[in-house]
Amino acid sequence: MMMQLRSMRQKLVAVVMLTTLAALLVSIGGVIAYDLRVYHRALLGDMATQAELLGHMTSAALAFDDAALAGENLASLRIRPAVRAGAVYKADGTRFASYLASGEGPAFPAAPTGEGVRVEGDQLLVFRRIVEKGDFIGTVYLRAEYGLLARAIDYLAIAAAVTALAMLTAYLLMRRLDRIITAPIFAITTIAREVVRTRDYSRRAPRISDDEAGELVDSFNAMLTEIEQRTRALERSNREIAREARQRAEAQQEVMRLNEGLEERVRLRTLQLELSNAELGVAMEAASKASQAKTSFVSSMSHELRTPLNAILGFAQILTSDAMPTTPPQKKDFANHILKSGRHLLTLINEILDLAKVESGTVALSMEPVALADMFTECEGMIAQMASQRRIRVLFPEGCPEVVLADRTRLKQVLLNLLSNAVKYNRELGMVRVEAGAAAAGRVRISVQDTGMGLSPEQVGSLFQPFNRLGQESGKEEGTGIGLVVTKRLLELMGGSIGAASSSSTGSTFWIELQATDPLPSALAAGTLLPFEAQAAAQASHVLLYVEDNPANLKLVQEIIGFRSDLRLLMAPDAHLGLEMARVHLPDLILMDINLPGMSGTEALGQLRADPRTAHIPVIALTANAMPRDVERGLANGFFRYLTKPIDIGQFGEAIDSTLALVDGCARAREA
């Protein structure tokens, strides 16, 4: 009997172990096969995508024959450790640029061997043609590690360990749980033996579990009472059958519920895969558009820079050529053309630098309350001459009480850009109206309305695209097509917004909105701003010392000061001589270049401040170091004002007059 019991238990353990092993092998094998298949496809797709992106990024370099740019693009493969080598070939099959990972030997194909992806041993080779506007311009080659075999070996090792652990766990569990399954059967066997021996049908087998073994106990007990209570046994049997039916129905419903849950999980996983594919497609499209936008921007910038340079170099060659003699009126006219083109080129460079700073997030803003009344007064004085030359009336609001939170310098740049556009593209004898008022949510709206030709809806939709002049490229008005882009970016950095409304032949209205803040007293009412004309009227005698090593710059300042009878100019070609002249002549004002031979202007300023005889003399920096951080550093070092080259004569005169006015005020205070 004990042999039979051990045999039954062994069979039960064997069945469970074999079932567990089969389930593990099928599930683990399926998972490994699926993962390796997905890995293979993902690797091929990833490398193909990488080659496609490199092709788009390198098309501009191939077009301009810029091997350095192509090398920089290939150097981005450093972030992909699996990629061991990469190269770009020209259309004729010659290698244009290449990249090798650390420790990799310089082995490249002599020429592309056709487009596609193939596996050679433990390496994956990718060839992708570069096609730009339908023309074949080159081929991208990538060589990456193909770790499918190593991955499969790792999975097999993991599978073997998991299978062994699972089988051991199943065996230990079955050793403890087999008695739970066999105990009811042993109980029925014992009671049946006793009933057969004693014929005592009142004995009942104990019900140990609620599973099929329990049902067997109930059936056995029902058989024992069948003679005495046939009817009750029949009813009990019917109730048992009904109960089993309900259990089967509940089991069927549970199976259906599990199937529905499985279908839902499959559906969600499918949606996730579709979303991932869509995001990948969007990313590829964005990368393609970015590459196209970069190419378009470089092309447009090249065209815009070359246009004024053409006039500058062309007229300069005529003026310096002995083969093309020119009359004095022609020389003056050519010089005016050179000056006009140079100013346009300077404006273009400044706006490109502004755009680059804004896009890179390096613009430093000083947010403060700005009274619009003061701002409108400053802008009115700066735009008046341009408007007068074109016979355009510019109307500003009177008594404007609004105050906005903004960077004062950048807000003035925004308003002057809108005003200059309104004047440039207006009709003769037209009008520009500036209005300001409260808007929703505690904001202030400033609008600039002109009476020009207006814009079509398509042009309004393209207003803020770089180098897009909306059909004015061939017009008589010069422009860069960047101003509005920089304006929009600056307003966004200041927490503001910009918009436009226009229709053909009725003019345009550009508006900006900024956050309102508490009112401030007007700087003009307080008398803190002194007009340039009032300053120039002072006829006191003053001495200026200009320290500059460039003879052309010395000559230019000498000519500008020559028109001022109230000023006397001293010049020094280096900082050492400038210090000696400052101690001897004690000028009222010093103009100092920063980049001087032997001693910089900043070092010279330190020595002037250390000498009690010259410590009180204001020093204005006049330099070509025009970056914002240079200006901030110069003012922090102690320069009274900071002017940048090329010289703006109006700003130059205002700086001199305001500084000398302060010097005279201090002198009068000491005398009193």
pLDDT digits (tens, 9 = 90+) for 129-139: 888 888 888 88
Phi/psi at 402 (nearest 5 deg)? -70, 145
Residue 185 has pLDDT above 60, yes or no: yes
Task: For residues 394-403, give the mean pLDDT.
Answer: 89
Residue 175 has pLDDT above 80, yes or no: no
Per-residue pLDDT, 243: 85
One-letter amino acid of 341 = S
Separation between Cα atoms, residue 377 and residue 214, nearest integer Å: 100
Per-residue pLDDT, 354: 63
Task: For residues 76-89, give the mean pLDDT.
Answer: 85
Q: What is the sign of the dihedral through the CA atoms of 99, 103, 106 and 107?
A: negative
Per-residue pLDDT, 519: 63
Contact 367, 496 (CB under 8 A): no
Separation between Cα atoms, residue 499 and residue 491, nearest integer Å: 11
pLDDT > 90: what percent of the chain?
Answer: 15
Q: Among residues 183, 252, 191, which one has the least CA distance to residue 220?
A: 191
Between these two residues, 223 and 375, which has the higher pLDDT value?
A: 375
Residue 287 has pLDDT above 70, yes or no: no
Contact 619, 655 (CB under 8 A): no
Q: How far is CA 34 from the centre of its chain?
A: 37
Between these two residues, 444 and 179, which has the higher pLDDT value?
A: 444
Between these two residues, 319 and 462, which has the higher pLDDT value?
A: 319
Residue 366 has pLDDT above 70, yes or no: no
One-letter amino acid of 83 = V
Confidence of residue 291 (pLDDT cuts 50, 70, 90): low
Residue 46 has pLDDT above 50, yes or no: yes
Residue 9 has pLDDT above 90, yes or no: no
Contact 308, 337 (CB under 8 A): no
Per-residue pLDDT, 445: 93
Contact 141, 112 (CB under 8 A): yes
Confidence of residue 655 (pLDDT cuts 50, 70, 90): very high
DSSP for residue 427? P
**DSSP H helical segments within 133-229, as ranges?**
148-198, 212-224
User: How many other CB atoms are found less than 10 A from the CB of residue 292?
Assistant: 14
pLDDT digits (tens, 9 = 90+) for 531-579: 333 343 344 479 999 998 877 678 889 888 988 888 999 999 889 999 9
pLDDT > 70: what percent of the chain?
Answer: 82
Between these two residues, 493 and 356, which has the higher pLDDT value?
A: 493
Residue 387 has pLDDT above 90, yes or no: no
Classify 443 as helix, strand or coil: strand
Q: Among residues 175, 192, 172, 174, which one has the least CA distance to residue 184?
A: 192
Per-residue pLDDT, 70: 83
Phi/psi at 139 (nearest 5 deg)? -140, 140
Per-residue pLDDT, 615: 92
Residue 394 has pLDDT above 80, yes or no: yes
Separation between Cα atoms, residue 549 and residue 228, nearest integer Å: 131
Per-residue pLDDT, 570: 92
Residue 457 has pLDDT above 80, yes or no: no
Q: Which of 60-74, 232-246, 326-340, 453-467 has the lowest mean pLDDT?
A: 453-467
Separation between Cα atoms, residue 331 and residue 339, nearest integer Å: 12
Confidence of residue 97 (pLDDT cuts 50, 70, 90): confident
Residue 293 has pLDDT above 70, yes or no: no
Between these two residues, 157 and 305, which has the higher pLDDT value?
A: 157
> Model-level pTM?
0.37
Per-residue pLDDT, 360: 62
Between these two residues, 298 and 224, which has the higher pLDDT value?
A: 224
Residue 468 has pLDDT above 60, yes or no: no
Q: Which of 90-94, 356-360, 640-644, 667-671 has the lowest mean pLDDT?
A: 356-360
Per-residue pLDDT, 363: 63
pLDDT digits (tens, 9 = 90+) for 232-275: 566 677 888 888 888 888 888 888 888 888 888 888 888 888 88
Residue 409 has pLDDT above 70, yes or no: yes
Confidence of residue 295 (pLDDT cuts 50, 70, 90): low
Residue 527 has pLDDT above 50, yes or no: no
User: How many other CB atoms are found less than 10 A from the CB of residue 101?
Assistant: 17
Burial class (CB in 10 A: 0-12, 13-18, 19+), 382: middle
Residue 642 has pLDDT above 90, yes or no: yes
Q: What is the sign of the dihedral through the CA atoms of 481, 487, 488 and 490?
A: positive
Residue 296 has pLDDT above 80, yes or no: no
Half-sphere exposure (CA, 13 Å, Cβ side) for 161? 6
Separation between Cα atoms, residue 640 and residue 647, nearest integer Å: 17
Mutual angle of helices 483-493 and 328-360, in 10-degree steps: 30
Mean pLDDT of the chain: 79
Contact 598, 670 (CB under 8 A): no
pLDDT digits (tens, 9 = 90+) for 416-437: 888 988 888 888 889 999 999 9
The region, left, alpha or beta by phi > 0 then psi within -120 to 50, assigned to residue 454 is left
Per-residue pLDDT, 593: 92
The two tokens of residue 500 are 């436009």
Contact 62, 70 (CB under 8 A): yes
Classify 439 as helix, strand or coil: strand
Residue 524 has pLDDT above 60, yes or no: no
pLDDT digits (tens, 9 = 90+) for 193-244: 777 777 666 777 777 777 776 777 777 777 777 755 565 566 677 888 888 8
Per-residue pLDDT, 587: 94
One-letter amino acid of 374 = D
